[in-house]
A and B are shown apart, each in its own frame.
Chain A
Amino acid sequence: MNVNGPIVIIEEDDFEIDLLREVITDLGYKNPIITIGNPLTAIETLRISEKPFLVLSAINLTGLSGFQIRDEILKEKDLFRKCAPFIFYSAHATQDTCREVFNRHANGFIHDINDYGKLYQSIQLVLDYWKMSSIVA
């Protein structure tokens, strides 16, 4: 983890990307934000990017799901270390989804992101928490 490094967002929906950017900026975080709109390029982008502060990834993506991207990351030890903490988010959370998230050694899971107030609060907690935690690779 690199506290001053970029926040990487894996999300194909422009509206969601704008929303997440807005929240992160409103919270006063000055980290550069890298967005990966095409899931098929996610692995390559993560390989070449600077070590992120954290990675926020949607689960429902077309072409390659967030889970499939995560599975690829888990195969590469260096990439796995580089992409920590790795946080999934989704609009709704079932227990099955939740299990899948943590079976993939994700570091967190944000849900109910359709409610702006809740999203704001969740993102704040996630950023503050991982800023305080010392997971580094």
Chain B
Amino acid sequence: MKKDGKIILIEDDIEDREIFEEVYNTLGFDNELVMLSDSTMVLEYLKKEEVKPFLIMSDINMPKMSGYELRDQVLSDPDLTEKCVPYIFFTTSQSPDSIKEAYRKSVQGFFFKMTDYRKFSNTLKLIIDYWKEAVTPE
């Protein structure tokens, strides 16, 4: 079932990946965490039939292909778009323009990375709890 599917983090920064993994591991969820560091490899991965993500969280500022460009590519494929719900942006970028842009891309959330460990942990738990509760396309 999809609720037990993978949580996919698209993040080029190794430190951010480590923090995410550390926080995620304290939350006690059973979903496998998959971290992809190269945004240009993501599309191919998501298209695989056996990959049925529970939740996708993407950084925005990444080299080679930005989180927005990647989202555009996902959205250009209706089957992939359906498979990739919820799709959430997770970024340090705080500019209103960035948020507007994210909004136009039809996302299911937009969260800022937090330096406060406790806050980060609470936010991540809320995100996962919320999407465990919501029905999403299978």
- Over the window 105-137 of chain A, the binary record of Cβ atoms lying under 8 Å from chain B Cβ atoms (1 yes, 0 no) is 101111100000000011001101100111111
Please pick, from B109, B129, B135, the residue contacting A98 in the complex, using a CB distance under 8 A.
B135
Q: How far is the CB of B59 from chain A (nearest CB, A)?
A: 15
- Cβ of B111 within 8 Å of any chain A Cβ, yes or no, is yes
Please, which residues of chain B bring their CB within 8 A of the CB of A125? 126, 129-130, 133
Q: How far is the CB of A69 from chain B (nearest CB, A)?
A: 18
Q: How many residues of B are counted as interface, with CB atoms below 8 angstroms from the partner's CB atoms?
A: 25
Q: Are A135 and B133 in contact, with the CB atoms below 8 A?
A: no
A98–B135 Cα gap in the complex (Å)? Answer: 7
Please, which residues of chain A bring their CB within 8 A of the CB of B107? 135
A135–B99 Cα gap in the complex (Å)? Answer: 6
Q: Which of B82, B100, B136 has the most CB of A within 10 A?
A: B136
- Cβ of B137 within 8 Å of any chain A Cβ, yes or no, is yes
Q: Are B112 and A102 in contact, with the CB atoms below 8 A?
A: no
Q: Are A99 and B103 in contact, with the CB atoms below 8 A?
A: no
Q: How far is the CB of B17 from chain A (nearest CB, A)?
A: 21
- Cβ of A84 within 8 Å of any chain B Cβ, yes or no, is yes
Please, which residues of chain B bring their CB within 8 A of the CB of A107? 108-109
- By a beta-carbon cutoff of 8 Å, the part of chain A in contact with chain B is 81, 84, 93, 95, 98-99, 102-103, 105, 107-111, 121-122, 125-126, 128-129, 132-137
The verdict on A133 contacting B111 (CB below 8 Å), with A81-B103, A99-B82, A102-B82 known, is yes
Q: Please, which residue of chain A has its CB at the minimum distance from the CB of B75?
A: A105
Q: Are A110 and B134 in contact, with the CB atoms below 8 A?
A: yes
Q: List 22 A-B contacts (CB under 8 A).
A: A81-B103, A84-B103, A93-B135, A98-B135, A98-B136, A102-B82, A107-B108, A108-B134, A109-B136, A121-B133, A125-B129, A125-B133, A128-B126, A128-B130, A132-B111, A132-B123, A134-B112, A135-B99, A135-B103, A135-B107, A135-B110, A136-B96
Q: How far is the CB of B136 from chain A (nearest CB, A)?
A: 7
Q: How far is the CB of B82 from chain A (nearest CB, A)?
A: 7
- Over the window 85-119 of chain B, the binary record of Cβ atoms lying under 8 Å from chain A Cβ atoms (1 yes, 0 no) is 10000000000100110110011111110000000
Q: How far is the CB of B104 from chain A (nearest CB, A)?
A: 8
- Cβ of B138 within 8 Å of any chain A Cβ, yes or no, is yes
Q: How far is the CB of A105 from chain B (nearest CB, A)?
A: 5
